[in-house]
Structure 1
Amino acid sequence: SPGWLQQRLLACGLRPISNIVDISNYVMLEYGQPLHAFDYEKIRGKGIIVRRAAEGEAVVTLDGVERVLSEDMLVIADTAGSVAIAGVMGGADSEVTQGTTSILLEAANFNPASIHYTGRRLQLPSEACMRFERGIRPELTLPALKRATQLIVQLAGGEAAKGVIDVYPGKRDQEPISLSTGKIKTVLGVEFSLGQVVDALTSLGFDCKRGDSASQVWVTAPYWRSDIHLAVDLVEEVARVIGYDKIPATMLSQPLPRQNPEPIFGLKQRAGRILTDYSF
């Protein structure tokens, strides 16, 4: 990999490995979408699928450890067996090495709860697992795949095959969220015009359509904003763009009452921490 790419990976806490792996990690940092590169010559049947693991199925992961899987875990498999633990870590049998001449590049989207469960059960934290378990928009897969392909052609001297195999069952559009200037005033304590609100959100890539009244707008979040679900999320974006300095500060009229927490509350907190440490 070129020096600039290695330096950027090191600055983000990732170790440079090889040009293909470095590019996939770099794109993951750019887009938040994990990618995995397989040595195409090692893929039996020249194709991959996503399936549930067989009970007791074993995979040797990239760290050289054999992992025994359960049937509630997902794997990436070829015609002969599993080649990666889906969303967690690739397999050593299909690893890209210095002798690799052709690769199969995969960008996928998985259920966050499934990946979280697999990573915890196998005690296998990874950069990909950390991102998938927090939720990623499915629409990020194609832009990330195209960006990685562009960098491979540019930096590794590769030649890209034509076309992309894209499987997206059950595609769902982003639901618009209703936002009003009244809601913003209730949350922030300051009134902004609808024009200010629309300008702020549009600058961030949100699609805004006028609502039924002069103070209401329907807002659709861009595909890369998987953290936007409620009107209060939009209020936060408006405040961030227009400026927190525009929100007046008001002192409380009297001091906060002294807190006297119940003993059972502390006990519940301690029990929760212990259970979390044991992956419950």
Structure 2
Amino acid sequence: MNDLWHTRPPTADTPPNADTREDMVVFENVSKTYPQHGNSGQPTLAIDSLNVRIKKTEIISILGPTGCGKSTAMNMIAGFESPSSGTVLLDGVPVNKPGPDRSIVFQQASLFPWLTVLENIILGVKSRGMSSAIYMDRARQLLAAVRLTGFEKHYPYQLSGGMQQRVQIARALISEPGVILMDEPFGALDSQTRLMMQELVLQLWQQYQPTIIFITHDVAEAVFVSDRVLLMSQRPGRVKLAIDINEPKPRVQEFITSSRFIQVQSELLHALRSEVQDTVNPPT
């Protein structure tokens, strides 16, 4: 894999625990307003004055009540939407369109049913003109990394839900993006498969070192996979709480019984419950 996925080592005069990584994604005073719908509708302020800095190779999870702007923020990083005000920067450059430096993993695998596993993985890079020698070598590495070697010629209907998601993750990784956006990628999976996929994400992160931005409604999942968890307020979305996990990766399931895990989960659940209750019963 290329140098994009490697962290720059600390310099001689840098304290051993200092974070020397540069910012990969920055929200600078970002707001997003959607226009009114119909004659009596009012404009909707989805996100207001959002300021967030995400380091290269960091794993960030975003939590929040429904409608708080989680997906809106992700769509602005992807280049699918633009801020109404403020700026979203990717590696120091304003985002104004989608690009191969960002890949998305959706809740549903969204694989082409008429293509095999291998054909689904290579479709994007092949269509962009990458050399077949390069993309086939990457595909073989990724099939092994997501434990799908031997399934190259299978079609999506022949795979379980977890296997389909592994294909989607391999497809996201093959272009060696700087950022991987994961929008509730394991929400449709059973609990056992979900735990296995969370461990797989951390193993792949250790191998390839992308920046990962992970949207989820599952507090335990956010704590398990992340370096930092951002909890957004009810609409208009702002960062209400940011918690550093400070636990080495990759993690094993024993982490979920640790005092640190329980403490962070409790703090996030309490803050999230407050936001959800305010959404259901807004203050008068």
Q: Same fold (TM over 0.5)?
A: no
Return the TM-score normalized by structure 2. Answer: 0.23
Return the TM-score normalized by structure 1. Answer: 0.23
Q: Which has the higher contact order (CA 8 A, sep 6+)?
A: 2
Pair member with larger Rg: 1
Structure in which a larger fraction of residues adopt strand: 2
